[in-house]
Amino acid sequence: MPDTRAMQRAGARKVSWSVLMLTAALSEALMANAIGISRLTDIERLPYLLLDVQVRYEGSIDKAGDNADFNWWLYQDDRGEWVIFDVDGPGCIYNFVVHHDQKHSDPIYRFYFDGAAAPAFEIRHSEFGSKFPFVEPLAASYDPRAAGCPDARLGEIDFRIVRSFCPMPFARSCKVTSSIRLQGSHPGGWGHIMYHAYPATDRVATFRGTEDYAPLLKLWRNVGEDPKRTNGNVAVAGAVSVAPGQSTEVFRRREEGSIASIKLHVPHEPMRRLQDLWIGIRWDDEADFAVDCPVGAFFGNELGLNSIRYLTHGMTTNGDFYCYFPMPYWRSAQVVLRNQGSADIRDVRYEIQYKPAAVLRYPRCQAAHFRASAYQPPVRKEPARDSHIAMLAGRGHLVAGLVTGRDTSCEGDVRVLIDEAATPSVESDGSESWACYGWGFVNPPRSNPVSGFDGTGNGLWSMTRICLGDCYPFRTALRFSVEGGAGRHQGTDIRSGIVFYYGEAEPGMVRTDSINVGDAASEAAHAYVATNSEVRPLAAFYEGECDQVEVKDQGRYLQAPGTFNARISPDNGGVLLRRRSDQQLGRQRARVFVDGAQVRERDWYYADRNPHKRWLDDEFLIPQSYTAGKAKITVRIEPAVCGGETTWNEFFYWVYSLRGETDAGVRNDRR
């Protein structure tokens, strides 16, 4: 970061003709494939909406709702391997985390793609960080003892937490196995796999392990530098002092453009100042700030105890803060600093760089503003409830989150509910696993390019996770919460936090129909037929925060095909079916037909199960090619035998039509 005099000399610079010539090249780069390696390298394209992409996980949460987050497997396959991940359709794994006591065994993880009988890739637990392409900093093996963790339990166990952000796309399906059953807390194992599901198979090239990782590795090995193109940036810089209760504007533009970086130097008493000094960002003359939070939270260092640096934002060793998230605006942009404390905050140095629209233009119908949830200050959670960090409405995708605990264990699942579904789309086995380290009791501060934690080891900690590949797209709503430290029904933890996202207030889909299976009137209204089925009532619970709220319904358990009609919007960008089902038995699979045509991209398949919290909301996205221009579709569900059984059942269907014009823009953007 330049000194004050240099920053003051930097002003609004004229854009040269050579810079103007970059416009076409940058625009073309933004239109590149956004799957796999390119998703992690082209940071400039983060604002582009992904309404037809879904984020999902498979992991080792306690099925009964307590804190025994281990015993991770789905089923044992014909080879005797223990399956820990099994999905159908095009997608991409972006995050893989497993904890295991390595002195007992060294598991082999095998990755099978597109229905192949032989694994395309295999890696031992001990090889993370060294076997290409699972090498630093894309992948690592974290040993708490070597890192200086003083936890007494490490004298008896040798837990190695392996993590990977190496992207692994697949065009048709993916199965991941472990050579041992990850059972029990010692020596067993726990963890998660986060992935994206795509609506169509085109443009998805299945992982080979021989792709060109050089640009990605180079980018991730230069944390602290702007990961985007800096050609054509214009800088505005200076120094300000902010009195208590006052705000000072440090940036304003009335034109189209995008903020490329924000840098601050906040002198003296970092922990208090990072709470007292707030940053506000407003776009396009909106009435409210899109971002309004303490600067510590904004830069991913709420506590400010140590230098924690990430690819997109962080704090350097000399106390300078940086943020490199691209932030487009179409009419105006304003950045202010506000003093929420009781003493002057003097000599705050700032530098804000932006790109004029002549250098880089984001299409308004395809991209969104950078925003933050309302900052959640430290609050003691209610008994038997989660700590609520963020509630978002509209359409967009979450790209980063921060959770801070005070006098609190970092245990407690992070739960993300998307589009008002009752089943979490993303869940970790603890805040520390969400941050991909997995042993967060008294660890020294630690970080990698997209996640890490800061703290003192006495119940004061802060964890940040950047979601570049596995961002969390939502179309109507997103809720981010954290379970209690020893399970939801225990503890009154104190947490604060915030999430960052690209989004807009208008929803990205609308509910156009619903079918109450088992209800005669609703079935008749939708021409529902399932001849070989049995109607059964069920009183059960959903997983998650409300897992003690009983829900009663009746539905059908099918042994043969069923059909129904559903209303949709003719101007749709695809159709999302959400189904309430009984997940007592796993491996529910069915083929889906729309107006007689089979959806070839994937089967409707859910491999997991939960005999304790039996209600499940899962989803099937019908690509636009099957639904374009139609006001009604006939859906045929053909249950398939899986694992020797037919377990398909259905209690309720919600039918959503995705925004047509936005979906078209998103699909074109993935060319």
8 A C-beta contact, residue 202 and residue 55: no
Confidence of residue 441 (pLDDT cuts 50, 70, 90): low
* Pair 207, 285 in one domain: no
Q: Please state, in angstroms and rounded to a whole number, the distance separating the CA atoms of residues 415 and 219.
A: 30
Nearest to 406 by CA among 492, 487, 468: 492
Domain annotation covers residue 574: yes
Q: Show the tokens assigned to 328.
A: 């487009």
**In the chain, what percentage of residues exceed pLDDT 90?**
76
User: What is the rounded average pLDDT of the residues 216-244?
Assistant: 96
Q: Are residues 497 and 520 in the same domain?
A: no
Closest CA to 493 of 612, 376, 648: 376
Q: Are 495 and 481 in contact (CB under 8 A)?
A: no
Query: Distance from CA of residue 404 to its chain's centroid?
Result: 18
pLDDT at 460: 87
pLDDT band at 203 (very low <50, low <70, confident <90, very high): confident
Report whether 418 contacts 467 (CB < 8 A). Answer: no
| Residue 416: per-residue pLDDT | 98
Residue 71 covered by a domain: yes
Q: 618 and 585 share a domain?
A: yes
Nearest by Cα to 416 from 449, 441, 391: 391
Least confident piece of the model among 234-243, 442-451, 658-667: 658-667
What pLDDT does 149 receive?
78
Give the residue-averaged pLDDT of 184-210.
91
Establish if 480 belongs to a structural domain. Answer: yes
pLDDT for position 466: 97
Asked whether the predicted pLDDT for residue 151 surpasses 50, the reply is: yes
Task: With a cut of 70, say whether residue 381 has pLDDT above it.
Answer: yes
Provide the CATH number for the domain around residue 597.
2.60.120.260
- Range with the lowest mean pLDDT among 2-6, 145-149, 495-499, 578-582? 2-6
Determine if the pTM surpasses 0.75. Answer: yes
**CB atoms closer than 10 angstroms to residue 146:** 10
**What Cα–Cα distance (Å) separates residue 395 from each residue in 367, 503, 504, 547?**
11, 5, 6, 27
Pick from 631, 658, 660, 670: nearest CA to 476: 658
Lowest mean pLDDT among 283-292, 605-614, 652-661: 652-661
pLDDT at 16 exceeding the cut of 60:
no
Whether residue 557 is found in the same domain as residue 497: no
Query: Could you tell me if 200 and 627 are in contact, meaning their C-beta atoms sit under 8 angstroms apart?
Result: no
Read off the pLDDT band of 489 (50, 70, 90).
low
pLDDT at 21: 33
Supply the CATH number for residue 259's domain.
2.60.120.1390
Do residues 252 and 334 touch, judged by C-beta distance below 8 A? yes
pLDDT band at 491 (very low <50, low <70, confident <90, very high): low
Share of the chain above pLDDT 70, in %: 91
Distances (CA, A) of 227 to 124, 140, 217: 31, 21, 12
* pLDDT given at position 486: 65
Query: Is residue 433 classed as helix, strand or coil in its secondary structure?
Result: helix
Task: Give the pLDDT confidence of 164-181 residue by residue, as tens digits.
Answer: 999 999 999 999 999 999
Question: What pLDDT was estimated at residue 490?
Answer: 61
CA–CA gap between residue 238 and residue 274 (Å, rounded): 19
Strand partners, 164: 96, 139
> Are the beta carbons of 182 and 82 closer than 8 angstroms?
yes
- pLDDT for 77 equals 96
Please name which of 605, 375, 612 lies closest in space to residue 500, comparing C-alpha atoms.
375
What mean pLDDT, rounded, does the chain reach?
90
pLDDT band at 6 (very low <50, low <70, confident <90, very high): very low
Residues 14 and 79 in one domain: no
Phi–psi pair at 168, nearest 5 degrees: -130, 85
Which domain does 659 fall in, by range? 509-669
pLDDT value of position 663:
37
Q: What is the pLDDT of residue 671?
A: 24
Total tally of structural domains belonging to the chain:
3
pLDDT tops 70 at residue 662: no
Distance, CA of 659 to CA of 327 (rounded, Å) = 23
330-341: pLDDT as tens digits = 999 999 999 999
**Which helix (H) or strand (E) element contains residue 636?**
strand 632-639
Average the pLDDT over each of 241-250, 443-452, 568-577 and give the range with the smallest value. Answer: 443-452
Asked if the model's pLDDT at residue 97 lies above 50, the reply is yes
Is 163 contained in some domain?
yes
Short-list 7, 61, 56, 10, CA closest to 613 = 61
Rounded CA separation 671/655 (Å): 28
Domain assignment present for 217:
yes
Mean pLDDT of 64-73: 89
Instruction: Give me the DSSP letters along 307-359.
Output: --B-SSEEE-TTSEEEE---EEESS-EEEEEEE-SSS-EEEEEEEEEEEETTT
Residue 48 lies in a domain: no
More confident residue, 376 or 660: 376
Say if 406 falls within a structural domain. Answer: yes
Of 611, 633, 610, nearest to 623 (Cα)? 633
CA neighbours closer than 13 Å in the CB half-sphere of residue 83: 18
For residues 349-378, average pLDDT: 97
Among residues 450, 474, 504, the one where a domain terminates is: 504
| pLDDT of the residue at 12 | 37
The better pLDDT of the pair 446, 565 is held by 565
Residue 25 pLDDT > 50: no
Instruction: Report in angstroms the alpha-carbon separations of 314 from 25, 38, 349, 560, 613.
Output: 29, 23, 16, 55, 39
Same domain, 70 and 185: yes
Alpha-carbon separation of residue 4 from 9, 117, 317, 350 (angstroms):
9, 62, 18, 8
Which of 474, 504, 534 terminates a domain? The answer is 504
155/213 same-domain check: yes
Mean pLDDT calculated for residue range 411-421: 94
CA distance 80 to 425: 29
Secondary structure of residue 634 in the 3-state scheme: strand
When mean pLDDT is compared over 2-16, 147-161, 186-200, 330-344, the highest value belongs to: 330-344
Boundary-marking domain end, from 358, 391, 425: 358
Asked whether the predicted pLDDT for residue 185 surpasses 70, the reply is yes
Alpha helices in 14-62 (DSSP H): 17-20, 22-30, 37-41
Q: Which residue from 650, 580, 585, 587 is spatially nearest to 615, judged by alpha carbons? A: 580
**Confidence bin at 487 (pLDDT 50/70/90):** low
Residue 521 is predicted with a pLDDT of: 98
User: How does residue 102 score in pLDDT terms, banded at 50, 70 and 90?
Assistant: confident
Q: Which residue, among 69, 126, 187, has the nearest Cα to 488 in the 3D structure?
A: 69
- Give the residue-averaged pLDDT of 414-439: 92
From 661, 664, 659, 391, select the one nearest 508 (Cα to Cα).
659
Distance CA 631, CA 72 (A): 43
Q: C-alpha 130: how far from its chain's center? A: 26
Q: What is the pLDDT of residues 533-567, one digit of tens each?
A: 999 999 999 999 999 999 999 999 999 999 999 99
Q: Helix, strand, coil: what percent of the chain each, to 5?
A: 10, 45, 45
Are both 486 and 385 inside the same structural domain? Answer: yes
* Domain contains 164: yes
- The C-alpha atoms of residue 437 and residue 431 are separated, in whole angstroms, by 9
Residues 500, 513, single domain; the answer is: no
Whether residues 263 and 379 share a domain: the answer is no
Query: Domain check: are 326 and 261 in the same one?
Result: yes
| One-letter identity of residue 78 | D
d(CA 583, CA 555) in angstroms, rounded, equals 13
What distance in Å separates the CA atoms of residue 331 and residue 283, rounded to the nearest whole number?
8
Return the higher-pLDDT residue of 518 and 202: 518
Closest CA to 425 of 503, 366, 477: 477
pLDDT at 269: 63
Domain shared by 593 and 485, yes or no = no
One-letter identity of residue 394: G
Cα 554 to chain centroid distance, Å, stands at 33
Given a cut of 80, whether residue 19 has pLDDT beyond it is no
Provide the β-strand partners of residue 451: 448, 465
